[in-house]
Amino acid sequence: MDWRINSMEDYNQKYEKALNNPDAYWGDIAKSFDWFKEWNSVRSGSIQDADMRWFDGAQLNITVNCLDRHLKTQPNKEALLYIPNDPSEEATRLTYKELHAEVCKTANMFKSLGVKKGDRVCLYMSMVPELLISVLACARLGAIHSVVFGGFSAQALAGRIEDASCTLVVTNDGGLRGNKTIELKKITDDALAMKECACVKNVIVHKRAGNEVSMKEGRDHWWHDLMKDMDTQCDPEVMEAEDTLFVLYTSGSTGKPKGIQHTTAGYMVWAAYTFANVFQVNKDDLYWCTADIGWITGHTYITYGPLLNGATTVMFEGVPTWPDAGRFWDIVDQYKITHFYTAPTAIRALMGCGNEFVDKYKLDSLKVLGSVGEPINEEAWHWYDEHVGKKKCPIVDTWWQTETGGILISPLAGITKLKPCHATLPLPGVHPVLMNEKGEEIMEREAEGNLCIRNPWPGMVRTIYGDHERFKNTYLSAYPGMYFTGDGCKRDAEGFYRITGRVDDVINVSGHRIGTAEVEDAIDQHPEVIEAAVVGFPHDIKGQGIYAYIIISANAGDNIQKEVLDTVTKFIGPIAKPDKIQVVKGLPKTRSGKIMRRILRKIAAHEFENFGDTSTLLDPSVVDEIKEGVL
Ligand code: WTA
């Protein structure tokens, strides 16, 4: 691909071109993809009007670019290498030709149940090849996929199914993770029993774990039964550039999770472009991203990005610590992984298990390491560099979000100078700005502020599913004409960016985004909880942990903490369980009734000084009581 950046000089030139002449820059890049019809305009609409559009007028199907295109040049290249949970079970390999056939068959299976363009399909599955295949099968038909991470509870699943009015749910009997089986079908059944899920007509169950499940007559179908008769050809649906490709739910600072909506052409170009340039994967390389397809990283950098580039993507079913904390490194050596992309939380967890688990492996196939999902701390960065990369692999610290579709700020492997814990420089087409409290742009080079992006980029979120007003208010209103990321950021004298973390009420727990309001709502469901306030606190492994302050009624029993944990597990899922729950008599509130979270955050972090202005507190004595009881 002639748009691949190959030096710092090349980067500078391309950055300038994308800034000064974006239509020409992105138009040229888009020409290297297959289209049914070319665009009328490269960019149209604006952030101001919340109607950003890319490649308007064009028609395409993303799966033609992920699959069919490669059948001409490399049909027998491995597209997918699948590594099962149990190390004794053999890996599955699918060539581009085989993956194409499986995707077509699956698309035909969905079609046989009436799925058509624009319908929403919920994929609530574990990390099996059929998940990646189902994602692409939806895209083949123009159906909108909504993948829900397997760690969410029945209630959370039901909320997402309802919000997008999904008509089909695809799940597994059970998901295998380490020595555990996650009963996905059972959770799906519980979700579908709720009134929210009346929209669901069919459920397809892929057999993986072999656990007992119940099948509802007329609604539930076994994947293997339906697939038997399916044809291996399925014509790709003709999609308009701005037709929706997928919805993916993510947490915000208020309210229920938002369905982040991405469209076809811009997302495709962005996924392909960023994958090629950040990771610099070559023909014989083997790239492995350890994320789950239930998160955006798995959408863009396990599924679409690698396949659009004709690379081999590795998919792993299991967990990093089973059978032991050397599992990742065992896989790297056994399969000769060259590019390895993971989250700081995994690095920190493995670092904590002891160096003997990593140092016994050669890891000499590795060329590039990546990090994503949360700020990587200095210690973890150096451990990754020394023990995994053996000081010879660049670490690309990639900053981006569900909303950005793909990476926005990151070193380009082997090209950009590295600086530990810095996402370094923006990709061409990305124009970061730091804003101060007053809403003004900070012009000094060395600065700290709220990170915004000026100008739309192709992979940018287009709206929140079913709620365009909320989309505008959340992202485009705080700083008019710009996209507000919700992150704080520093810029150094060289112009390198370092993301410091969320500046809103979102906590990043083990790289998972969790809204404090959501956890509070869940805790409030417990009948004996009168009020709850949730904040994040620094956590050695998870990055941030969840700290809940609760006020309880006189009827609450001794087991209240445990019951609260169960309530959160029920309403959101185990990933949102608070690490600490402190029972308090009151919460620090202003006279107008607003909880002063700033104070609660400080106390949770064991910082007992400099609470700032507390003169507006209704009852300052509660602060002392909370301080005394801190966990
Ligand atoms: C955080 C994950 C620091 C950030 C792709 C962002 C990061 C949120 C980094 C998005 C990084 C992601 N350095 N922080 N390299 N990457 N973040 O939507 O706070 O799950 O806003 O997307 O993760 O999380 P999301």
| Three state DSSP letters for 210-229 | CCCCCCCCCCEEEHHHHHCC
Q: Which residue bears the tokens 């993510």?
A: 250
In short, whether 398's Cβ falls inside 6 Å of ligand 1 is yes
Residues in contact with 322: Cβ distance below 8 Å, sequence separation at least 6, in sequence order? 85, 177, 178, 179
pLDDT score, position 160: 97
**CB-neighbour burial class of residue 275 (10 A; exposed 0-12, middle 13-18, buried 19+):** buried
Can you tell me which atom of ligand 1 is nearest the CA of 398?
A: 15
Ligand 1 pocket, mutate which of 296, 400, 514 (most atoms under 8 A from CB): 400
In short, whether 508's Cβ falls inside 6 Å of ligand 1 is yes
pLDDT in tens, 468-506: 999 999 999 999 999 999 999 999 999 999 999 999 999
Å from CA of 171 to ligand 1 middle: 27
In short, whether 507's Cβ falls inside 6 Å of ligand 1 is no
| Residue ranges in the chain modelled with pLDDT below 70 | 1
- pTM greater than 0.85 (yes/no): yes
Å from CA of 497 to ligand 1 middle: 13
In short, whether 155's Cβ falls inside 6 Å of ligand 1 is no
pLDDT score, position 1: 64
CB 230 within 8 A of CB 223: no
In short, whether 342's Cβ falls inside 6 Å of ligand 1 is no
Å from CA of 603 to ligand 1 middle: 25
What is the residue with the minimal CA distance to atom 8 of ligand 1?
401
What is the residue with the minimal CA distance to atom 24 of ligand 1?
401
The neighbour count for residue 16, using CB atoms within 10 Å, is 12
Proportion of the chain above pLDDT 90, given as a percent: 95
pLDDT in tens, 227-282: 999 999 999 999 999 999 999 999 988 888 999 999 999 999 999 999 999 999 99
Ligand 1 pocket, mutate which of 499, 500, 542, 575 (most atoms under 8 A from CB): 499
In short, whether 400's Cβ falls inside 6 Å of ligand 1 is yes
CB 598 within 8 A of CB 610: no
In short, whether 370's Cβ falls inside 6 Å of ligand 1 is no
CB 515 within 8 A of CB 474: no
pLDDT score, position 563: 97
- Alpha-carbon distances, residue 75 vs 65, 80, 340 (angstroms): 13, 12, 25
Nearest to 518 by CA among 599, 572, 438, 459: 572
Can you tell me which atom of ligand 1 is nearest the CA of 506?
A: 19
In short, whether 309's Cβ falls inside 6 Å of ligand 1 is no
In short, whether 424's Cβ falls inside 6 Å of ligand 1 is no
Count the residues in the chain.
Answer: 631
What is the residue with the minimal CA distance to atom 13 of ligand 1?
375
pLDDT in tens, 187-204: 999 999 999 999 999 999
Q: What is the DSSP string of 320-382?
A: TTSS-TTHHHHHHHHHT--EEEE-HHHHHHHHHT-THHHHTS--TT--EEEEESSPPPHHHHH
In short, whether 345's Cβ falls inside 6 Å of ligand 1 is no
Ligand 1 pocket, mutate which of 246, 374, 484 (most atoms under 8 A from CB): 374
Measured CA to CA, the distance from residue 77 to residue 75 in angstroms comes to 6
In short, whether 373's Cβ falls inside 6 Å of ligand 1 is yes
∠ at Cα 294 (312, 97), nearest 5°? Answer: 30
Å from CA of 511 to ligand 1 middle: 7
In short, whether 411's Cβ falls inside 6 Å of ligand 1 is no
Å from CA of 329 to ligand 1 middle: 25
Å from CA of 508 to ligand 1 middle: 8
Q: Is the peptide bond before 323 cis (omega within 30 degrees of 0)?
A: yes
In short, whether 259's Cβ falls inside 6 Å of ligand 1 is no
Nearest to 243 by CA among 106, 119, 131: 119
pLDDT score, position 6: 97
pLDDT score, position 219: 98
- Alpha-carbon distances, residue 22 vs 43, 100, 410, 429 (angstroms): 8, 33, 20, 7
